[in-house]
Structure 1
Amino acid sequence: MKTIQLRRYTLVEGEYDAFLAWWKEWMPRVRRAAGFGIEFAYGLPETNEFVWAVSAEGDHAAFLALDEAYRASDGRAEAFDGQPQRIAEYNLRLVDEIG
């Protein structure tokens, strides 16, 4: 069993390119090191949005426990160190596969 979290962001105006550059540099590396997979990542520059999905083996509770450990990790702290807030709005949801 795999749990997937859909992550939808509205980015701060003018920060789209900088956010993408930072995300590409850091998120694949630190999320995978923490035990997650990245299902997909898409940008919508015309609406200043970024949508991606991160996954982990196990049920929702296992995902949330892994995410809690990731949030406390040195890798995540390094990735975010000195970074400005580039996300104006977050929408995070655990989703169920249909089909």
Structure 2
Amino acid sequence: MTDRGALLRRALCSSRLERLQAVLHHDPECVHEMMAGHQDPTPLFYLPDDEQRATHITRLLLSYRADVTMRNDSGQTAADAVLARSLDAAAMLMDPSIGADA
């Protein structure tokens, strides 16, 4: 993982949304950073387990044009991966068709 990837990952893991906002403001392109050495390739895969925080972070990452089409080593998109973790609201933000049948 590059230095910017490590910085982004630390910001994602922190409990402060402001820290993530600052990282993205300083380096908007890091939203596309590939997480080298990890099964899950992009920041959208690294959401917290708390639904409300995950939804806020998803909105923030999407506002910086995070790529929702990337797939992990298992062939899942970030929406698939977070839906499997019961983060339904975040998954629907990434893929509105998920909530279409509900």
Q: Shorter-chain TM-score: what band?
A: under 0.3
Q: Which has the higher contact order (CA 8 A, sep 6+)?
A: 1
Q: Which has the higher helix share?
A: 2
Q: Which has the higher strand share?
A: 1
TM-score normalized with structure 1 length: 0.28
Quick check: which has more Rg, 1 or 2?
1
TM-score normalized with structure 2 length: 0.27
